[in-house]
Structure 1
Amino acid sequence: MHSKWLLFVLVIFISCSDQEKESDVSETILSDFLQLNTNKELDEVIACAGSDRDFNSVSIFYFPEAGSFDFRYYETDDVNVNPDDFSNYKLKNLPINGVFGNKLSAFKREEQHEAWGIVTYQTNGKLHKSNPIRLKHLSELTDYNSNITIDNSTSLSPKFTWQASTGNTDAIYFQVLLEENDNFISGTYTFDKFFRYYDTSNVVLTINTTTPPELEVANNYQFIVLAVSLDNWVNSYSYTNFTAE
């Protein structure tokens, strides 16, 4: 009888120890969240961040793939950490807004200190994680400008050209084309400081699932370029409205 009681106590002790170990792993720290999801394939999230026009907040932009869910934003306490050490990132509860015709989404952040951030979400069988994003809204404000040149010499195939951001730290350029009513038309990435609609010869990445439609004569559109640095900060946000010719 004594040995049976001892065995029962031992089983309870081991069970409680296992529960304590599991309780040590939470979803509020990114490294723990990744550990909890090691059974899922790890994939990427296209994401970057920039200061908003009022300069009082930051938008963390990301592209939610079809079927994605469980959108999360993790952030470090400050910038003086190793951005590749995921134990430094804590879950933040931030509002999410649709942007660029709701093709992309953006976490809205109003805290003043700079930090590193990472976006995650899930799709069926996959956990998606962005590269670290360096928030620079105090040291390097995003420059909003309309410095875009349009060449309409080819009918309904305008060529858009822009300049490098001040500081010349641009790594890639994200181009968005919207209709006047904010409907999303196209989203592409180039290393070049130009893009012709819809010529993909210099496009290195696209978020378009199908070939975008032809432009329509006399319709009004907006063209936007985000100049993104290697650490995923939006150096500049250039935009222009135009009428298709």
Structure 2
Amino acid sequence: MILSCSNSDEAIAPTSLKSYLNSNRFEKGAVIACSASDMETANVLTFFYPVLNAVNARLYETTSVNVNPLDFENYTQVFLESEPIFNGYLRRFSQESSVEKWLIVTFELENEIKVSNPIRSKQFSKPTRWQDIVSINQSQVGMPLFSWPDNPFGDNAIYFQIVSDGNDNLLSGTYTNQNQFQYYKLDNVVLNITRETPPILQLNTSYNFTLMDVSLDNWVNAVTLNKSFVKQ
């Protein structure tokens, strides 16, 4: 995917997050977001879930990690456009960064600014591992069971799972504390971003499974990306 940046003939003055929020209603912790390092570069990828009708998504950053991440005065806007993934069901910002820092994502919804929890980038101290750590058991017809080692890289807080089809459409998006997820069974799901009832998987059809191992400070320790399986 190609990064698209905002262009202007005039320099854009940095905007602090505090000044943006001061004259508006806002809600903290209302954007689901996390960051990872790119598999080939040290670029920081910041993923977020744009709820329906959300507009004006923004990325804010501090100058380093040696600041109070809860003080909005420490954040200035990064003028980047987000790009769609899973056909826009999720979006992400991609940026080059020579230092680790804190990040926050915002968007506007119904005349209120929604604000993510701070994300601590670790592209140098703990780069994201992109590797296949997922096993798939299809013994139960139509409900494959995905499992993986529990907290293999340390610092895990939650796991994020995506099942998608061959056209990159997201069929289900869920979070669990446990190191397994069964399609489509919600017994151990602690957060569900699936908007509609997931479809029945079709016989002899290829699907993909993506897993993110997310830390307490919203850094992605590891990613299994689009592991392919054929519904049996």
Q: Is the TM value for this pair above 0.5?
A: yes
Whole-angstrom distance in 1 between the partners of 2:138 and 2:195? 26
The number of residue pairs the alignment matches comes to: 218
More displaced 10-residue stretch of structure 1: 134-143 or 100-109: 100-109
More displaced 10-residue stretch of structure 1: 26-35 or 117-126: 26-35
* One-letter amino acid matched to 2:21: L
Q: Which among 223, 231, 245 is matched to residue 209 of structure 2?
A: 223
Does 1:89 find its partner at 2:85? no
Identity of aligned residues (%): 39
After superposition, the CA RMSD in angstroms is 1.4
TM-score using structure 1 length: 0.86
Gaps of 5+ in 1: 1-25
Q: Which residue of 2 aligns with 1:149?
A: 135
Does 1:29 find its partner at 2:53? no
Whole-angstrom distance in 2 between the partners of 1:177 and 1:122? 27
Shift of 1:27: 7.7
TM-score using structure 2 length: 0.90
Whole-angstrom distance in 2 between the partners of 1:169 and 1:136? 12
**SS of structure 2 residue aligned to 1:55:** coil
Shift of 1:101: 3.0
Shift of 1:159: 0.2
Shift of 1:117: 0.4
Describe the superposition over 1:157-216 as per-residue Cα deviations: whole angstroms up to 9, x where unpaired: 000001134442110000001111211111000000000000001001111112111111
Gaps of 5+ in 2: 1-12
Matches within 5 A, 1:1-245: 28-37=15-24, 40-42=25-27, 44-239=30-225, 240-245=227-232
1 or 2, which has the higher helix percentage? 1
Whole-angstrom distance in 2 between the partners of 1:212 and 1:124? 27
* Contact map agreement 1:132 1:231 (CA 8 A) in 2: yes
Whole-angstrom distance in 1 between the partners of 2:74 and 2:99? 16
Q: Give the 3 Å change call, closer, same or farther, for CA 136–106 of structure 1 in structure 2.
A: same
